[in-house]
Amino acid sequence: MFVELVRKRRSVREYKSDPVPREMLESCVEAARYAPTACNTQCCRFFIVEGDLKNRIVQECLGEPPVPNRWALQAPVIVVLATARNLVTHRLAAGLKGIRYDLVDSGIAGEHFVLQAVELGLGTCWLGWFKKKRLKKLLDIPAGWDVPAMITVGFPLNEPGDKDIKPVDGAVEYRR
Ligand SMILES: Cc1cc2nc3c(=O)[nH]c(=O)nc-3n(C[C@H](O)[C@H](O)[C@H](O)COP(=O)(O)O)c2cc1C
């Protein structure tokens, strides 16, 4: 059941050193590519980073208090989520409506990626506290693109525990 898969997803910050097979990563990207995007711009781009460059990302783009994120060094893969922003949808329409459609799009796509990773027995953790300018430079990402998040990927060292969630009453309001 889908809800079982969703419940299994936890942020994983300790990984085995085993590499992640390329087919697994590609299947996660495929799941992400099926995500809806505003005006179907399909603006999300995935940089899959391993090895020395991944370590440089951790050393040069993470590490700032109060969320040092140094644990990410253990992850065999970091996926850098980028959005190739489109003039009409992501600048004009977004400006008119005050909604960052590119951020909505990349959030949905990123979570598709994450849930497929869970399905394959992988662990992930979203990263939102990093030096964006430095990261864009390291990966040579075009100036007009945004980089809203990174996601660590690898085989979890431990079985993730259950998650406590706030009572649903606090999250939902019915109106008519
Ligand atoms: C947009 C976003 C950014 C996040 N940034 C970080 C981060 O920089 N470092 C980190 O350790 N966890 C980060 N997280 C993970 C959250 O801390 C985590 O999802 C939350 O505590 C709930 O735990 P769970 O994912 O195990 O359910 C981020 C999550 C999201 C969705």
CATH of the domain at 153: 3.40.109.10
Residue 172 within a domain = no
Rounded to 5°, the CA angle 60-142-114 comes to 65
Q: What is the pLDDT of residues 81-123, one digit of tens each?
A: 999 998 999 999 999 999 999 999 999 999 999 999 999 999 9
Residue 162 within a domain = no
Residue 164 within a domain = no
R_g of the chain, CA atoms, integer Å: 17
Residue 57 within a domain = yes
Residue 166 within a domain = no
Top mutation candidate among 7, 8, 10, 11 for ligand 1, by most atoms within 8 Å of CB: 11
Residue 168 within a domain = no
User: Bridge partners of 154?
Assistant: 123
Rounded to 5°, the CA angle 47-115-163 comes to 120
Top mutation candidate among 104, 126, 150 for ligand 1, by most atoms within 8 Å of CB: 126
What pTM did the predictor assign? 0.96
Residue 163 within a domain = no
Q: Phi/psi class of residue 42: alpha, beta or left (left: φ > 0; alpha: ψ in -120 to 50)?
A: left
**Contact yes or no for 50/89 (Cβ under 8 A):** no
Domain that holds residue 46: 8-157
Question: What share of the chain has pLDDT > 70, as a percent?
Answer: 100
Please tell me the total count of domains within the chain.
Answer: 1
Residue 37 within a domain = yes
- State the closest ligand 1 atom to the C-alpha of 129, by its place in the atom list counted from 1: 8
